[in-house]
Chains A and B, each alone.
Chain A
Amino acid sequence: MRLLAFVPYFCSDFLTHNLVSMTWKQVFTSSVGRKLTMGLTGIFLILFLVVHAGLNACIWANDGGVMFNKAAHFMGATIVIRILEIGLFVFIFIHIIQGLILEASNRSKRGTPYAVNYGNRGSKWYSRSMGLLGTLVLLFLILHWIHFWIPSRFTGTPEVTYDNKTYHDLFTLMKEIFAELWVVIVYVLGCISLGYHLAHGFQSAFRSLGVHNKKYNNMLTSLGYGFAVIVPLAFAMMPVSMYLGWVS
């Protein structure tokens, strides 16, 4: 015991030589820093979902897509939004790459697997499957980019003229794409994956940023569940209502 009493003194000496020096690289490649990145980019993507869902909800104005096309035009033509779009892509790629690195690294930490699995005690299946859910969302996203983003930026979309001004007719493009049943089903499945991804990701993002107060954690968990249901449901209803002809 007498010997043990010297351990702290030795360690404190060690500490004074290594006093609080963490470069940004060390911070962002540490296990805690990687989560921080996932949380920060995740919250940004959550904010984007709100904007995206709000804007697309214009299809339900039932005005032949005028409001929706004009809103989409505003998003495409405003310099601030275009700069934010670059930021969005950077954040999406950081989120994807960091997520894949984390998933691979975490999976490598248990060389010999258990014969009997731990199961659901204390954790939800979707909390344990964020890598899989994220990959499903990514696959959906690639299809989604091919359907809408690439035509509107590069290969061209149908066009429409309101008050002598030409607009991309994304509304008609949506109607064409969502006329196919398999596309609608894939989009709905994509939205379900997104919903489960958010059910864990929303509250977990704030935990990674260090929110530890019980009242906020409880509030954010409830808010997260609400968000994870409402937003993907709103998205899923878009192809469904297009397919079923609920919008004109």
Chain B
Amino acid sequence: MEHYNMNLTLKVWRQKNQSDRGQFETYKVSNISSEMSFLEMFDVLNEELIQEGKDPIAFDHDCREGICGMCSMYIDGKPHGPWQENTTCQLHMRAFKDGDTITVEPWRANAFPVLKDLVTDRTAFDRIIQAGGFISVNTGNAVDANALPIEKAKADDAFAAAACIGCGACVAACKNSSALLFVGAKVAHLGLLPQGEPERKERVLNMVAQMDKEGFGACTSTGACEATCPKGISISNINRLNKEYLVASLVSEK
């Protein structure tokens, strides 16, 4: 692909802390290489801000390989930017043209309060996992796992659901700020495998209860989550969660 440099205008959400109202600030960046990643472009901008004695823009990132789920920018109206099945860190500047204006916002959801600038507190997801997203017993090592027969189709579905990196783009894209794609992926991933199957009922009930407590909205099956998910988690995981929830609540003891 042909290399080019570009000058861009960035409209970035700046917010000092959780209680600050926050507002957009406009920045100009010049000579940005089309080979740079989106976060590298922010690194360049932050270097400039630091040299000017200004507060650099806070943003989440960790592996920069598209697998950790830390990066979280809402770029021009889309979580993780314009590319499909892609994270912000793997978004490259060749997605933009010289002279473009790019608006960058944090994830917006009451359950994900903004801590500073583009950094949000996504520990609500951790608490949902603590409510049931685990297997309580030691499942052994790879040898033990290979000794258990698992249908190929189930293993594939579980693996596809396990690809969820918990970044929260589904919540950011959803008009209801629903976390059901995330929770559905965890419920499907663990419930489809023999190690996780015995706890499937309490898992779905407890995880949904925690999800509601955290202040996420209800799913209305619009499909925005699936389309924005960097890992291509299927919305059918939500339908599967609905079934698990219905069955678990019907057979509940009380």
Contact = CB atoms under 8 A, between A and B. Distances in A.
Contacts of B228: 118, 121-122
A154 interface: no
B173 interface: yes
Contacts of B212: 30-31
A212 B240 contact: yes
A37 B178 CA distance: 18
B243 A210 contact: yes
A32 B221 contact: no
Given A7-B130, A9-B136, A128-B222, A112 B254 contact: no
A204 B221 contact: yes
Given A15-B206, A22-B249, A117 B218 contact: no
A127 B223 contact: yes
A115 B105 contact: yes
Contact of B239 (A9, A109, A110, A211): A211
Interface in A24-65: 26-27, 30-36
B252 A21 contact: yes
Interface residues of A, number: 55
B55 interface: no
Contact of A119 (B11, B77, B103, B248): B77
B56 interface: no
Interface string B209-223: 101100111111111
A208 interface: yes
What class of interface size applies to chain B in its complex with A?
35 or more
Contacts of B78: 118, 121
B189 to A, nearest CB: 14
B103 A116 contact: yes
A36 B238 CA distance: 13
Contacts, number: 185
Given A20-B253, A109-B110, A122-B227, A116 B134 contact: no
Contact of A19 (B134, B202, B221): B202
Contacts of A106: 175-178, 217-218, 220
B50 interface: no
A20 B246 contact: no
B249 A33 contact: yes
A165 interface: no
Contact of A34 (B218, B235, B240, B251): B218
A162 interface: no
B117 interface: no
A123 B236 contact: no
A172 to B, nearest CB: 42
B186 interface: no
B226 to A, nearest CB: 6
Please name the 3 residue pairs, one residue from A and one from B, whose CB atoms are nearest each other, closest first.
Answer: A122-B227, A210-B243, A12-B136
Interface of B: 11, 22, 24, 74, 76-78, 103, 105, 108-111, 114, 130, 132, 134-137, 173, 175-178, 180, 199, 201-202, 205-206, 208-209, 211-212, 215-228, 235-249, 251-254
